Amino acid sequence: MNIFKHLSSAPLPSLGFILLIGLAGLAWSYFCLRFAGYLRCHRNLRSGYTRKTFHLLIFITVAVLQLRWGLFAVCVFGAMTTFVIAYALLRGVGHPLYEAIARESDRPHRTYYIVIPYLATLIGGIASNLFFGPLALVGYLVGGIGDAAGEPVGTRWGKHQYKVLWLGRKAGTKSLEGSAAILFASLLGLLLALAIHRQLNWQSLIPIVLIACICTVIEAASPRGWDNTPMQFVPTFLAFLLLPR
């Protein structure tokens, strides 16, 4: 498989297009983070909610860009979002942009657990697109909707806790309620992606359920902060492998 065929076959965008996507992406990503910061600092929502609000808005935006303009637009938007997050990190503790995505429970490593998940998001999205092209939409929607559901549900209703070990060390604490939310939200993401790709039929239902179950296990077992990579790449790969085209 030529992993660069999706890039080589795409026409080179114009400078005007790059500037338009860049400026619009910068404004939109800033608005998304500012909105999450408003919820955190003015509405006193917990960071478990506001962090995933930003997460969901960015993933949905990436899915739209992927559908309309492909990987190049996704990369430009990713660069603009990187600038916005870097600005939030520079403003630091107490600023709404920072507090929107920095968990209280991550002290004293709050910045670390902003940077690492964001890097994991970039790696998973770009890898999915390079290998599988437009099918990367599966990973965007599973990673965006599925992963976004777990933390807010776990924060609000997570009463049945379990610990996750990674290489013999504690990797984090999860809840059965949060994992159940990830399962059902991953199913929703898969259904949306395959409906958009017109690959949704009765024959695909069993593989869809299997992929959602695998994604739930992967999210629970991934090293803390790195789940955004496999939560995009694995469902995209499994959809490519298991679903009829």
State pLDDT tens for residues 23-60: 999 999 999 999 999 999 999 999 989 999 999 999 99
Q: What is the pLDDT of residue 168?
A: 53
Instruction: Please state whether beta strands 161-166 and 169-175 pair in parallel, antiparallel, or not at all (unpaired).
Output: antiparallel
What is the CB-side half-sphere exposure of residue 191 using CA atoms within 13 A?
11
Tell me if residue 136 falls in helix, strand or coil: helix
Concatenating the DSSP letter of every residue in 79-131 gives HHHHHHHHHHHHH-TTSHHHHHH--GGGTT-TTHHHHHHHHHHHHHHHHHHHH
Q: What ranges do the domains of the chain cover?
A: 14-242
Q: What is the pLDDT of residue 1?
A: 47
Residue 54 to residues 95, 99, 148: CA-CA distances in angstroms? 16, 12, 9
Q: What is the pLDDT of residue 160?
A: 84
What is the CB-side half-sphere exposure of residue 97 using CA atoms within 13 A?
17
- Residue at token pair 């990713």: 78
pTM: 0.89
Tell me if residue 4 falls in helix, strand or coil: coil
* Residue 242 structure tokens: 């298991």
- Tell me which residues of the chain have a pLDDT lower than 70: 1-11, 165-172, 245
Burial bucket for residue 36 (CB in 10 Å: 0-12, 13-18, 19+): buried
Q: What is the pLDDT of residue 3?
A: 47
* Residue 224 structure tokens: 């803390």
Tell me if residue 39 falls in helix, strand or coil: helix
3-state helix, strand, coil in the chain (%, to 5): 75, 5, 20
Q: What is the rounded distance in angstroms from the CA atom of residue 232 to the CA atom of residue 139? A: 4
* Residue 95 structure tokens: 């600023």
Q: What is the pLDDT of residue 2?
A: 46
Q: What is the pLDDT of residue 234?
A: 96
